[in-house]
Amino acid sequence: MISAHGDTRTAVQAVKNGAIDYLTKPFELEDVLHLIRISAEKIHLTNEVTYLRKKTFEHELLICNSPVMKSLNEKNNKNRRKFHAEGLTVR
C-alpha cells in the first residue's frame, strides 16, 4: 500500500487486510521495485506450497489405498480391537 499519510494505524490495518508492506510518499523507485520482487516471490511460494500440499495429499491417498497398506491397516485395527477387549490401550 502506498499512502501520503504516515499513520501507524492505517499501516497496521492495511497489513491486516493483506498488504505486503506499506510505503509513505515520497518513496524511492527502488523501494517499489523491491516490494514488487517480494510480492512476486510470496505469490510464487504460496502457489508452490499449495501445489506441494496437493501432491502430498494425492501421494498419501495413493499409499493408503494400496493393497499393502490396506492389509496393514486391517491388521492394525484388528490388533487394536484385541488389545481394547483385553483392557489394554494402544497409542
The verdict on residue 72 lying in a domain is: yes
Q: What is the pLDDT of residues 44-89, one digit of tens each?
A: 999 999 999 888 877 777 667 778 888 888 888 888 888 777 776 6
Tell me the pTM: 0.54
Instruction: Calculate Rg over the CA atoms of the chain.
Output: 26
Q: Which domain holds residue 37?
A: 2-85
Strand-pairing partners, residue 23, are 2
Q: How many domains does the chain have?
A: 1
Torsion on CA atoms 24, 29, 30, 36, rounded to nearest 10: 80
The verdict on residue 90 lying in a domain is: no
